[in-house]
Amino acid sequence: MMKYKFLFTFAVTAFLTFCSFGTQAFAAGYTGYLDGVSGDAVTGWAWDSSSPQSSVSVEAVLTDGASGSVIKRASAAAQEHYSHLAAQGIGTGNYGFSADLSLLSLPDGTYTVQAWVNGTELPNRLTLVISQGSVNVTSVSSLRSLGVFKTTAYCPCSVCSEGWGRHTSTGAIAASRHTIAVDPRVIPYGSRVLINGVVYTAEDRGGRVKGNHIDIFFDTHSETRQYGTRSAEVFLLP
């Protein structure tokens, strides 16, 4: 009886080992890279090294840098010919893709792009800064830092705006996720800055906004109360 039990245990172990090695041997070798941006689309390449004659489908995901929420997803077949891939010995070179994420229609701010092939994420991500209709691939650390500022909030109510409503000292109409009040001796009017993933324009000033202090415009007073007072690093956009 012990002999048969041993043989049964050996057979099961051998079968599981074979399945394990077989799975590893035939597992897809997905890889690729996100190259950059072209108009509304993000571009790159992806392939399955275990099946170089086949094309794969790529899912690109765009995330809001301020909220972390997913803004858009787009799928694309990686089948465009990239001569530099073929020159590097990467299969046939027919692995390029362009995934339309409607980038030019997005509001100013920072965004992150990631891409997957059948559940495998490509090895890099792109950080995008969108400002005044242009899309730049960059990293926040490469922007010029103005330092850490005290940030507060205001809105069109009579308490916050002292009767000015949405009218600003520069003549612009204040808008949420756009207008900030600054000390123009520190940040000149018209400057565009990045704060916590959102691009703002210096369009206003306040009597108590002096030095390294920025007042951020919101639509409602409840939003200003929720924001309170925070410290944030401020980056100057070109």
Q: Which of 76, 109, 141 is the last residue of a domain?
A: 141
Same domain, 112 and 62: yes
Same domain, 132 and 209: no
Same domain, 46 and 149: no
**Burial group, residue 214, by CB count within 10 angstroms (0-12, 13-18, 19+):** buried
Q: How far apart are CA 153 and CA 165, in angstroms?
A: 14
Q: How far apart are CA 91 and CA 72, in angstroms?
A: 31
Q: Which of 141, 162, 185 is the last residue of a domain?
A: 141
Same domain, 228 and 128: no
Domain count, the chain: 2
What confidence tens digit (pLDDT) does each residue in 9-31 have? 434 444 344 344 333 333 468 99
**Residues 153 and 142: beta-carbon distance below 8 Å:** no
Whether the pLDDT of residue 2 is over 60: the answer is: no
Q: Which domain holds residue 77?
A: 30-141
How far is Cα of residue 198 from the mean position of the Cα atoms in its chain?
A: 12
Q: Is residue 187 assigned to a domain?
A: yes
Q: Which of 83, 114, 141 is the last residue of a domain?
A: 141
Q: Is residue 184 assigned to a domain?
A: yes
Same domain, 154 and 169: yes
Q: How far apart are CA 95 and CA 54, in angstroms?
A: 9
Same domain, 35 and 136: yes
What share of the chain in percent tops pLDDT 90?
68
What confidence tens digit (pLDDT) does each residue in 197-215 have? 899 999 999 888 999 999 9
How far is Cα of residue 49 from the mean position of the Cα atoms in its chain?
A: 28
Q: Is residue 124 assigned to a domain?
A: yes
Q: How far apart are CA 23 and CA 222, in angstroms?
A: 56
Q: How far apart are CA 139 and CA 143, in angstroms?
A: 7
What confidence tens digit (pLDDT) does each residue in 129-185 have? 998 888 988 877 778 899 999 999 999 998 888 778 899 999 999 999 899 999 999
DSSP for residue 172: P
Query: What Cα–Cα distance (Å) separates residue 225 from each residue in 155, 163, 166, 206, 217?
Result: 10, 19, 18, 17, 12
Same domain, 48 and 131: yes
Instruction: State the CATH number of the domain containing residue 207.
Output: 2.40.40.10
Residue 70: CB atoms within 10 Å: 12
Q: Is residue 3 assigned to a domain?
A: no
Tell me the CA end-to-end span of the chain in Å, nearest whole number. Answer: 81
In single-letter form, the type of residue at position 199 comes to V
Same domain, 163 and 227: yes
**Residues 206 and 125: beta-carbon distance below 8 Å:** no
